[in-house]
Amino acid sequence: MRKMRFPQIVCILVCSFPLFGVSRFTVSLASGAGWYMGFPLYEDTLPFRSSYALDAVFDMGLQNETLEVSLEIPFRFVSRSPFFNGTSRRAFFSVGGGLRLKTMFSEVVGMFFSASMQYNWYLVDQAFLSFDGKLGPLFVLWRDNKNNVALEIPLGLQVRKDILGVSTGFLIRYTYN
């Protein structure tokens, strides 16, 4: 029963969305870079280790004048951390699926929230699951009737079994409606 809740919530949101007014189908691609900080949930010589992160996101959904609901597929690469006392955190790749919500306060300024489950694997051996949530402002840089380019500044939280990851950076998002 619990496994069915997420698909049911997504189905209800997407099916009821046309009730909010005229809606359009959207497809988006985003790419960006940022800083990733891993806070260990175990004994370590440092309170956190930092890395850089490269992100790419594909999503599609429904949009009206002020609200957008979409399903997303996020991809991420996190570099290895610098060595300290002979220890470094390993680099890893992530891919997942999730839900993204966006609202616009004006024609230029908005806010977004996304949440996803991700499959992560180290470049050497292990794989692990994580929950990733992001929230932040967005600023429309250019738009016409069908196209939109925006700058997003996400603040992210990644919850893993052994590490709590915090990230920030920027994404450039292209949307076609």
Question: What is the model's pTM?
Answer: 0.85
Q: Indicate the pLDDT class of residue 37, thresholds 50, 70 and 90.
A: very high
In a domain, 6, yes or no: no
Q: What stretch of H or E contains 15?
A: helix 5-16
Q: What angle do CA 77, 83, 86 make, to 5 degrees?
A: 130
78 is in which domain, residue-wise? 23-176
In a domain, 11, yes or no: no
In a domain, 56, yes or no: yes
Distance (Å, rounded) from C-alpha 128 to C-alpha 125?
10
In a domain, 163, yes or no: yes
pLDDT tens digit string along 81-114? 888 777 778 899 999 999 999 999 999 999 999 9
Instruction: State residue 83's pLDDT score.
Output: 82
Residue 168: pLDDT over 90: yes
Total count of domains within the chain: 1
* Cα within 13 Å of Cα(55), Cβ side: 31
More confidently predicted of 55 and 9? 55
Q: What is the CATH number of the domain that holds 90?
A: 2.40.160.20
Residue 84 in contact with residue 45, Cβ under 8 Å? yes
Residue 175: pLDDT over 90: yes
Q: How far is CA 166 from the centre of its chain?
A: 12
Residue 74: pLDDT over 90: yes
